[in-house]
């Protein structure tokens, strides 16, 4: 009789451990999904600000069409990106294009003095900070998720529960290059 009770208690504890591991993995997966959604929100916010910025700059620097077209193309690539890898690849060109458009303000004092341009520049800079934070949160969530599904007992539950690894939001290889500064 004691042996039967021990077996039943062991089975109950095993079931509770499996249920706890499964629920923990689901919570981590949901946190990863939430992290990615936050990145998408900030990228959309930035993409929505860019047309206004381009229109403001057009009024002052209409002959800078190459720079403005580069910004629009980078925005299109960013908007059409699916998943962390494509979004990360689109980040470099859009950051460079925005840097070029902000550099135009130095060449056009009236543009630099324009209140609308300054406000848009501040909003985009603020959004860039939010994107950076969201990327860090997402990558931290993915790392925690990977740790959960790669360690025991999560590895067993993940294998049977079909919980695949997620992509990290990594900088594109071109974003890692150190810019050359010449005087």
- What does pLDDT average to in each consecutive run of 10 residues of the chain (183 residues)? 94 94 96 95 92 83 77 88 88 86 81 83 91 95 96 91 91 56 38
Q: What is the pLDDT of residue 97?
A: 85
Look at residue 87 and tell me if it is in a domain.
yes
Look at residue 178 and tell me if it is in a domain.
no
Q: What is the pLDDT of residue 16?
A: 95
Q: What is the pLDDT of residue 59?
A: 76
Concatenated DSSP letters for 44-99?
A: HHHHHHHHHHHHHHHHH-TT-HHHHHHHHHHHHHHHT--HHHHHHHHHHHHHHHHH
Q: What is the pLDDT of residue 101?
A: 84
Look at residue 58 and tell me if it is in a domain.
yes
Look at residue 160 and tell me if it is in a domain.
yes
Look at residue 31 and tell me if it is in a domain.
yes
Counts for the chain of helices (H) and strands (E), in that order: 6, 0
Look at residue 14 and tell me if it is in a domain.
yes
Q: What is the pLDDT of residue 181?
A: 40
Look at residue 132 and tell me if it is in a domain.
yes
Domain CATH for 11 = 1.20.1440.20
Domain that holds residue 132: 2-166
For residue 92, what are the contacts with CB-CB under 8 A and spacing of at least 6? 171, 172, 174, 175
Q: Model's pTM, two decimal places? A: 0.80
Token pair 């840097």 is at which residue?
99
CA distances from 121 to 39, 92, 130, 182 (A): 20, 18, 14, 26
- Report the domain count for the chain: 1
Look at residue 118 and tell me if it is in a domain.
yes
């Amino acid at each position: 009789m004691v042996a039967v009770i021990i077996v039943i208690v062991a089975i109950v504890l095993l079931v509770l451990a499996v249920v706890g591991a499964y629920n923990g993995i689901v919570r981590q997966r949901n946190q990863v999904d939430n992290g990615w959604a936050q990145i998408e929100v900030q990228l959309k916010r930035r993409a929505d600000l860019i047309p206004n910025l381009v229109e403001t700059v057009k009024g002052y620097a209409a002959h800078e069409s190459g720079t403005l077209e580069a910004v629009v193309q980078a925005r299109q690539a960013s908007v059409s990106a699916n998943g962390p890898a494509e979004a990360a690849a689109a980040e470099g060109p859009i950051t460079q294009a925005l840097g070029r458009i902000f550099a135009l303000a130095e060449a056009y004092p009236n543009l630099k003095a324009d209140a609308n341009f300054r406000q848009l520049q501040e909003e985009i800079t603020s959004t860039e900070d939010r994107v950076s934070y969201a990327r860090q949160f997402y990558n931290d969530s993915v790392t925690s998720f990977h740790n959960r599904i790669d360690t025991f007992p999560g590895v067993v539950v993940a294998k049977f529960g079909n919980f695949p690894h997620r992509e990290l939001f990594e900088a594109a290889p071109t974003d890692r290059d150190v810019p050359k500064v010449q005087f």
